[in-house]
Amino acid sequence: MRPIIAPSILSANFAYLAKDLEMINQSEADWMHLDIMDGVFVPNISFGFPVLKYVAELSKKPLDVHLMIVNPEKFIPEVKALGAKVMNVHFEACPHLHRVVQQIREAGMLPAVTINPATPVSLLKDIINDVYMVLVMSVNPGFGGQKFIEHSVEKVRELRLLIEETGSEALIEVDGGVNKETGARLVEAGANVLVAGNAIFSAENPTLMIHELKGL
């Protein structure tokens, strides 16, 4: 199965955002990945709903919204208003994760849970049958263009095993330092969805890079 490709617009040129969005629209990308940061859960701030409103209007691809914020459940209505397909919340930001997952479903979106590099896959055992997708962070969240953490490949293998053992249908998404080389190994280990920012937007030909990632 060819991977689902979700370009992260965090690495786009925000002065010419419409141009980059159009590139994604015309490409073989499957989803558009939107990173929301609050400067509290992660040491950076990206963009918020006033900006994303216009991104959502221009995007022809389903939206995969990754919230790197505390209390993400507070923003379920705002994410829903964007027309998002997937709402990703961090395991580490949700003491009542089961409730949040149900709330996302009730709002008519697909719930995904994200784990940071230091969070073990085994902690997902009691939520794996309730989520549409697990996002394995392969860098510490907060910035684009970081170096891929090698251990993430093992985590994807372990997660694939957990999904098989539990009969879950969850997809596995990976985010951070994904390029053709790391992407190929992640797909081999069982990843279904590849997020890529820097690899796409710093490529000489971003459309071709999306095509090549899609071919992994």
Query: Quick one: tokens of 97?
Result: 């994760």
Catalytic residue among 20, 30, 35, 38: 35
Q: How far, in Å, CA of 190 to CA of 175, rounded?
A: 14
Residues 15/206, Cβ–Cβ less than 8 Å: no
142 contributes a contact to ligand DX5 by CB under 6 A: yes
For the chain, give percent helix, strand, coil, nearest 5: 45, 20, 35
176 contact choice in Zn ion, ligand DX5, none (CB below 5 to 8 Å, kind-dependent) = ligand DX5
Contacts of 165 (CB under 8 A, 6+ apart): none
Closer of 5 and 76 to ligand DX5 (Cβ): 5
- Contact with ligand DX5 (CB under 6 A): which of 121, 175, 206, 212? 175
Nearest distance, CB of residue 190 and ligand DX5, angstroms: 19
Instruction: Give the interface segment with ligand DX5, choosing from 24-32, 116-124, 144-152, 204-212 (CB under 6 A).
Output: 144-152
3 contributes a contact to ligand DX5 by CB under 6 A: no
Residues 174/194, Cβ–Cβ less than 8 Å: yes
Among 131, 208, 127, smallest CA distance to 172 is for: 131
Residues at the interface with ligand DX5 (CB under 6 A): 8, 10-11, 33, 35, 66, 139, 141-146, 175-178, 195-199
Catalytic residue set: 35, 175
